[in-house]
């Protein structure tokens, strides 16, 4: 019998009552491994009401106790890292190493959430006026929600709900319907860690359930990671409903390669950053901009990428897995064909990729284009597959113009031996996350994930100090206490403190 994915509502896993079913398939075989039912309106309402009721008591829990919950949760995630990774492998197709990395980067955010007492410290100034003090407290918002994508089913939910809950909020999580079992396991461990009933809810579904979150008056803030079109929709609809929204959207990340860079380091970095995780990550390097004589390295880059092969997660030699769905594979293949038609040179073509024993898998082989220009669709669109496009420019200034003219600003990197070139690049590039001789500059969670331009809609970013600001309000108190010997003066008819 096919496994039925349950909702996690009001502190328990409950069998779904909805009749709209979505199949969860193994992307290497197309075998149906589970079915997830979209939450009904009644189930959504029950989850939100439970979170609303739990908030009244959870916000009063001392911050040190909330921190200890996160410590226990992080410990359990570490103990079960392999088990969670195995679920990711089965429903998403990642390699074991990649799946474990997915879990580990989430654990790091939970560890940061355990630092919540210091992160929620307010400010104080004594004697802002005579015998008057001002101080501030940081307080939670209420019920918050998260809508997460398929490509990091452990890490991205863990970006969201641990920080929100550590701040004193309660949380509704709507994970991707394409790989929902990972989140359910994480919720199970959160309960084992001692999370009170109603603090976290997990509801499954698709657009209808997202819309319920966007429009419900009791949800105060929404976090989202996904595509550009959906991110814009989430941001516009959520803010129209007077909610706080942080929406992380698409990307087109460039690596600039200077002629003085270490060639072998460049080659190794481009192999992993372009086709790793089947290219299904928003921080993948999909454009390599070679400056001057560095363009001579393109054939060597293509040759190194050509040695990489996809496969199933049980194959220890597989470098990456399949695309998440046949539709995703078809889109990538369509963009590869479009690139050929537009005049780019397909140096390495992975369109006809096959993996022995898995004829039905969503396979796309590593692909490399040269002579790409900014007006081509393979440049303009986020391919989200194992495809690297390469460009050639004459100077760092030209490379900066290419990157800065892009509508996206998630991540970028420069490989160089010149401190001056690196300093100029990091200062002038209009991208939120910059790597210097590091291909994928995702910051550790004591910093924040800071995409710019069309890669992010909102004001405060994920995890780090910005997440605390996103999930809280600041209350400022100005106080004076009267001693008996202080003479009573007349009314103060101005706004001046005195």
Query: Which member of 167, 282, 346, 353 is catalytic?
Result: 282
Is 353 an active-site residue? no
SS3 letters across the chain = CCEEECEEECCEEECCCCCCEEEEECCCCCCEEEEEECCCHHHHHHHHHHHHHHHHHHCCCCHHHHHHHHHHHHHHHHHCHHHHHHHHHHHHCCCHHHHHHHHHHHHHHHHHHCCHHHHCCCCEEEEEECCEEEEEEEEECCEEEEECCCCCCCHHHHHHHHHHHHCCCEEEEECCCCCCHHHHHHHHHHHHCCCCCCCEEECCCCHHHHHHHHHCCCEEEEEEECCHHHHHHHHHHHHHCCCEEEEECCCCEEEEECCCCCHHHHHHHHHHHHHHHHHCCCCCEEEEEEEHHHHHHHHHHHHHHHCCCECCCCCCCCCECCCCCHHHHHHHHHHHHHHHHCCCEEEECCCCCCCCCCCCCCCCCCEEEECCCCCCHHHHCCCCCCEEEEEEECCHHHHHHHHHHCCEECEEEEECCCHHHHHHHHHHCCCCEEEECCCCCCCCCCCCECCEECCEECCCCECHHHHHHHCEEEEEEEEECCCCCCCCCCCCCCCCCC
C-beta pairs of 42-47 under 8 Å, 24+ apart in sequence: 42/17, 43/7, 43/9, 43/14, 43/16, 43/17, 43/18, 43/203, 44/203, 44/209, 44/212, 44/213, 44/216, 46/9, 46/10, 47/7, 47/9, 47/10, 47/172, 47/201, 47/203
- Tell whether the torsion through CA atoms of 425, 426, 432 and 435 is positive or negative: positive
How many angstroms separate the CA atoms of 402 and 409, rounded? 12
How many angstroms separate the CA atoms of 466 and 163, rounded? 10
Q: Two tokens at 439?
A: 């291909």
Q: Among all residues, which ones are annotated catalytic?
A: 282
């Amino acid at each position: 019998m096919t496994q039925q994915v349950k909702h996690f509502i009001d502190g328990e896993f409950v069998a779904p009552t909805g009749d709209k079913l979505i199949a969860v398939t193994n992307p290497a075989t197309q075998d149906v491994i589970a079915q997830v039912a979209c939450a009904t309106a009644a189930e959504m309402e029950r989850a939100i009401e439970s979170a609303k009721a739990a908030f009244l008591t959870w916000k009063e829990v001392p911050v040190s106790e909330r921190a200890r919950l996160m410590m226990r949760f992080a410990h359990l995630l570490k103990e079960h890292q392999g088990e969670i990774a195995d679920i990711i492998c089965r429903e998403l197709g990642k390699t074991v190493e990649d799946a474990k990395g997915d879990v580990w980067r989430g654990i790091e955010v939970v560890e940061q959430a355990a630092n919540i007492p210091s992160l929620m410290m307010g400010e104080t100034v004594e004697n802002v006026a005579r015998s008057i003090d001002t101080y501030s407290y940081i307080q939670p918002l209420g019920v918050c929600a998260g809508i997460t994508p398929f490509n990091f089913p452990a890490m991205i939910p863990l970006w969201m709900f641990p920080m929100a809950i550590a701040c004193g909020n309660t949380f509704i999580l709507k994970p991707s319907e394409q790989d929902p079992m990972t989140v359910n396991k994480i919720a199970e461990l959160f309960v084992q860690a001692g999370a009170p009933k109603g603090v976290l809810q997990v509801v499954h579904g698709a657009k209808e359930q997202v819309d319920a979150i966007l429009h419900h008056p009791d949800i105060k803030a929404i976090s989202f990671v996904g595509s550009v079109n959906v991110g814009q929709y989430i941001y516009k609809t959520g803010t129209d409903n007077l909610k706080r929204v942080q929406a992380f959207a698409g990307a087109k990340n460039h690596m600039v390669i200077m002629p003085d860079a270490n060639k072998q380091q460049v080659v190794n970095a481009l192999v992993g950053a372009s086709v790793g995780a089947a290219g299904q990550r928003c921080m993948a390097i999909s454009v390599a901009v070679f400056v001057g004589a560095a363009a001579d390295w393109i054939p060597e880059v293509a040759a190194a990428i050509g040695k990489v092969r996809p496969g199933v997660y049980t194959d220890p030699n597989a470098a990456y897995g399949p695309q998440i769905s046949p539709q995703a594979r078809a889109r990538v293949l369509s963009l590869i064909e479009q690139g050929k038609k537009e005049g780019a040179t397909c140096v390495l073509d992975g369109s006809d990729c096959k993996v022995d024993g898995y004829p039905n898998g969503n396979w796309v082989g590593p692909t490399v284009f040269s002579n790409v220009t900014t007006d081509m669709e393979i440049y303009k669109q986020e391919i989200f597959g194992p495809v690297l496009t390469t460009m050639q420019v004459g100077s760092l200034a030209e490379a900066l113009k290419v990157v800065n003219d892009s509508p996206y600003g998630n991540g970028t990197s420069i490989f160089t031996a010149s401190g001056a070139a690196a300093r100029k690049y990091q200062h002038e590039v209009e991208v939120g996350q910059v790597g210097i001789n590091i291909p994928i500059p995702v910051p550790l969670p004591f910093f924040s994930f800071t995409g710019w331009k069309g890669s992010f809609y909102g004001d405060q970013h994920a995890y780090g100090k910005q997440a605390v600001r996103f999930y809280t309000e600041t209350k400022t108190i100005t106080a004076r206490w009267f001693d008996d010997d202080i003479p009573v003066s007349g009314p103060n008819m101005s706004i001046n403190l005195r």
